[in-house]
Each structure stands twice: as C-alpha cells, then as structure tokens.
C-alpha cells in the first residue's frame, strides 16, 4: 500500500471573510469552547488570536517545506470559486497556484460547483487559465456530490477526482479516475463535532484503526487529506498529528506517491 497525501486550501487571509460569511464569529466561538473544554491551552488560544493581527490563515509555505524535508509528494487543491466559507478571490488563488507549482508540488481544483455542469465547466476554465493545466484533478469542497457530480466532472475533462470517502481502490469513470480517500484531519480530530473533541493520543488511535482497515481491505492506495491551515502552532494537535502520521506511515513501510504516478501505475495494469 502507498500513501497519497493532499491538502485542501480553504482559507488564505482572515479578512477575506469579513462581511462575506459567518466564518469569523464561528471561529471565535469554536476557539473559546475548545479553550474552556481544555482541548487547547492559553498559548494556543493566543496564537489563534494573533492570526487576526497578521491576517494570515494559510500555512502553505511551511507545509511545502515540511513535505520536502520528509520527501513527501503532495497535491494542493485550490478554489477558483466562492461558497461555503471558501471566500478568497481569483487573484489570491492565482498567486498561490503559481507559488505551489514553482515549488514542485501538484495543484488541483477545490471545487465548489457540484450540481451544475455549466458551473463545473466555469471552474475548470478558470483553473486552466490560472495554472496552465489542461486536465487537473479535483476534490469537492466539503466533499459535496450528487448522483451527477462524478459524471459531470469526467465530462468536463478532469484527470481524476478524490471526493469519495470510502475504503475502495481507485476505479475508472470513463477517462477519469476516482481516488477514494480514507483519512481526513477534521474527521479524526473533531470526530463528528463542530470543534476539537479528541486529544492527540485519541486521534492517533483512531487513525491507526483507519490504516489497519485499509490494510484489511487490501487497498493499493491510502488517501490522506490534511488542510494546510492546521500546520500551525494555532492548531497544535492538528500539526502534531500530521507530523506523527507521516512518521507512522514511514515506520510501517508505507511509501508515498502522487496521483499522476498512481494513475500511470493503474493504467499500466490495464495493458
């Protein structure tokens, strides 16, 4: 089994949310609840409040540097549309798409449009202009999909989709590959809640169970989704969990690959 690591970019700045959505008040409430419940300490809370002063809600450079140091290939999914708290503009998206690609990482679409083919095509066209990639991959924001989403993504020309959360091996939908993923930071650390409910050791145990299930299901690829924003002292448990996870996968002889190499491997088996 090989691991495929990817990162969703949901935020870039704090103030991109001002007067656009309810992310900022929800963040204040969440942080206070986590502090009162003892899930985070005063220092971590202070770092979070400091984020407002620096107007920085992304940790892309730091995460790229860590992945490079660990020799981990990765794919960042960047939005080119707004919705459900994804509120940064096209100019900001274009800057980071170029920066991510210049650092040797893959880049895909963090899709917002899931129920309209015309809007899916608008996102595809916008991303092509910004990235120069003709057939990128995609993961839907909040993993939203309906019965037509996957077929429309294939029709739009996507190389792969990784929105499905299941313990299945990759499979074809026409010319597109579907890569189900199994491990996501929020689902492990929040565990069904709206804020952090698990400490680091609990998160580790839950993750080990997911990895063991992937082995039991004889998966060829383990999909890992970690949001770049959490690679920060403002989210200590999340960052430490990701660092631990990379080490744990290495200790268990799980190598790392990327979507493109996995597709080439899968297509070679078809021949």
Residue 40 has pLDDT above 90, yes or no: yes
Residue 244's pLDDT band (cuts 50, 70, 90): very high
- Tell how strand 137-140 and strand 171-173 pair up: unpaired
Instruction: Specify the pLDDT at position 82.
Output: 97
For residues 226 and 237, is the Cβ–Cβ distance under 8 A? no
Confidence at residue 25, expressed as pLDDT on a 0 to 100 scale: 94
Residue 271: per-residue pLDDT: 83
Place of tokens 């202009």: 129
Q: Tell me the average pLDDT across 57-67.
A: 98
Distance separating alpha carbons of residues 3 and 208, to the nearest angstrom: 14
pLDDT of 122 higher than 90: yes
Nearest 10 degrees: Cα torsion 264, 269, 270, 271:
90
Cite the beta strand spans of 112-248 per DSSP E. Answer: 137-140, 160-161, 171-173, 176-178, 183-184, 221-225
Q: Which two tokens stand for residue 88?
A: 């940064």
Q: What integer pLDDT is reported at residue 188 of this predicted model? A: 98
pLDDT of residue 238: 98
- Mean pLDDT estimate for the chain: 97
Tell me how many degrees the CA angle 220-222-225 measures, rounded to the nearest 5: 155
145-185 pLDDT tens trace? 999 999 999 999 999 999 999 999 999 999 999 999 999 99
- How far apart are the C-alpha atoms of 178 and 175, rounded to whole Å? 10
Quick one: average pLDDT of 87-100?
Answer: 98
The burial class, CB within 10 Å (0-12 / 13-18 / 19+), for 70 is middle
- Residues with Cβ < 8 Å from 25, sequence gap 6 or more? none
The helix, strand and coil proportions of the chain, stated in percent and rounded to the nearest 5, come to: 50, 15, 35
What angle in degrees, to the nearest 10, is found between the helix axes of 42-54 and 23-36? 160
Domains recognised in the chain with CATH numbers:
2-11+58-270 (3.20.20.370)
Residues 6+ apart with CB under 8 A from 122: 81, 113
**Cα dihedral across residues 119, 122, 126, 131: positive or negative:** positive
Side-chain-facing half-sphere of 120: CA atoms under 13 Å: 23
> How large is the average pLDDT for residues 58-74?
98
Q: Which of 76, 106, 97, 104 is nearest to 263 (CA)?
A: 106
Report pLDDT digits (tens) over 211-220.
999 999 999 9
The mean pLDDT of 186-202, rounded to a whole number, is 95
């Amino acid at each position: 089994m090989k691991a495929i690591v990817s990162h969703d970019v949901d935020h870039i700045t704090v103030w991109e949310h001002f007067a656009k959505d309810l992310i900022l008040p929800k963040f204040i409430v969440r942080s206070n609840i986590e502090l009162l419940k003892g899930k985070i300490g005063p220092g971590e809370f202070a770092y979070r409040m400091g984020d407002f002063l620096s107007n920085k809600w992304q940790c892309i450079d730091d995460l790229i540097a860590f992945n490079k140091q660990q020799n981990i290939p990765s794919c960042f999914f960047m939005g080119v549309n707004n919705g459900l708290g994804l509120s940064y503009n096209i100019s900001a998206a274009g800057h980071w798409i170029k920066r991510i690609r210049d650092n040797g990482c893959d880049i895909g679409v963090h899709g917002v449009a899931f129920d309209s083919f015309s809007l899916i095509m608008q996102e595809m066209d916008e991303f092509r202009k910004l990235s120069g990639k003709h057939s990128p991959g995609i993961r839907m924001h909040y993993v939203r999909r309906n019965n037509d989403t996957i077929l429309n993504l294939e029709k739009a020309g996507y190389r792969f989709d990784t929105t499905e959360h299941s313990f299945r091996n990759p499979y074809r939908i026409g010319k597109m590959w579907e890569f189900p993923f199994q491990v996501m930071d929020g689902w492990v650390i929040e565990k069904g809640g709206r804020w952090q409910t698990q400490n680091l050791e609990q998160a580790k145990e839950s993750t080990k169970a997911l990895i063991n299930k992937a082995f039991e299901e004889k998966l060829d690829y383990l999909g890992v989704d970690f949001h770049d924003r959490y690679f920060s002292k403002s989210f200590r448990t999340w960052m430490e969990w990701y660092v631990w996870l990379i080490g744990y996968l290495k200790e268990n002889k799980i190598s790392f690959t990327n979507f493109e190499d996995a597709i080439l491997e899968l297509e070679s088996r078809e021949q």
